[in-house]
Amino acid sequence: MRARARRFHAYPAAAGERAVYRKAPTRRGRRWRAAGMALALAGLASCVSTPITGRQAFNLLPIEDDMELGAQAYADTLAEAKLADDHPDAPMVRRVVARLIPVAQRHLPVEFDWEVHVIDDPQTVNAWCMPGGKMAVYTGILPVTRDETGLAVVMGHEIGHAIARHGTERMTQQVGAQLVLDYIAGDYSELASEAAQLLVFLPWGRSQELEADHIGLMLMADAGYDPREAVGFWQRMAAASGGAPPE
């Protein structure tokens, strides 16, 4: 077998010095370097400032994709849920989000497609807000919230996750840059099956929960609710679910 000839490039030297010969970059090496530079540039362009807290976050997805991914995951979730929009507390749910949405929207560069439904599930003590503003409140959490202010604590927290873009930030971190870049390029197949879990249903990390708490308290205060009432709600939540916050 013939040995592959190596290509070298002569680099000019100063007068009186010998020329320096170095191995010329291969086509594959140039491709890898170009890909690395592209990802580095994408990383620089994808550092975004989180509303209210000002934290710098790495998120490859543009905020418009929060709405697209959230809307699809929302439709898939509601298709398997039993809605209870005629529940006695449903008007209260709508009042709370109607007060929180305008103050949250002020911190966003695009208009989210806000929507809320009540899900009939007395065993699930939870509520959530998808990226892009699609929300659900399970009937199981309503006895814990007790009143409108208690529910404002919950929904301020959940909206906090959405406007901080925790869902697509986690997607960027967990599925890897290549899958996210494929999605941006129009290949939705790999992310579609995982979207709901990554965007909202997996438990959040401690730093994300604390940031959502911070944002949520600011939102509910701006909406005219007393944030001091959050203490009583979280005590009731700890008793009802062993200390786990709504996801």
- By percentage, how much of the chain surpasses pLDDT 90? 60
> Tokens in use for 234?
């979280």
Instruction: Give the pairing of strands 8-11 and 20-23.
Output: antiparallel
Taking the C-alpha atoms of residue 115 and residue 130, their distance in angstroms, rounded to an integer, is 10
Residues in the chain, how many?
Answer: 247
Q: Which has the closest alpha carbon to 89: 141, 155, 129, 154?
A: 141
Largest CA distance in the chain: 92
Q: Residue 22: enclosing H or E segment and its boundaries? A: strand 20-23
Of 17, 80, 148, 158, the active-site residue reads 158
pLDDT of residue 13: 53
pLDDT tens across 146-186, in order?
999 999 999 999 999 999 999 989 888 877 655 555 655 55
- Give yes or no for a contact between 240 and 188, defined as CB atoms under 8 angstroms apart: no
User: pTM to 2 decimals?
Assistant: 0.78
Taking the C-alpha atoms of residue 200 and residue 245, their distance in angstroms, rounded to an integer, is 13
Q: Average the pLDDT over 136-152 and give the result.
A: 98
Is residue 158 part of the annotated active site? The answer reads: yes
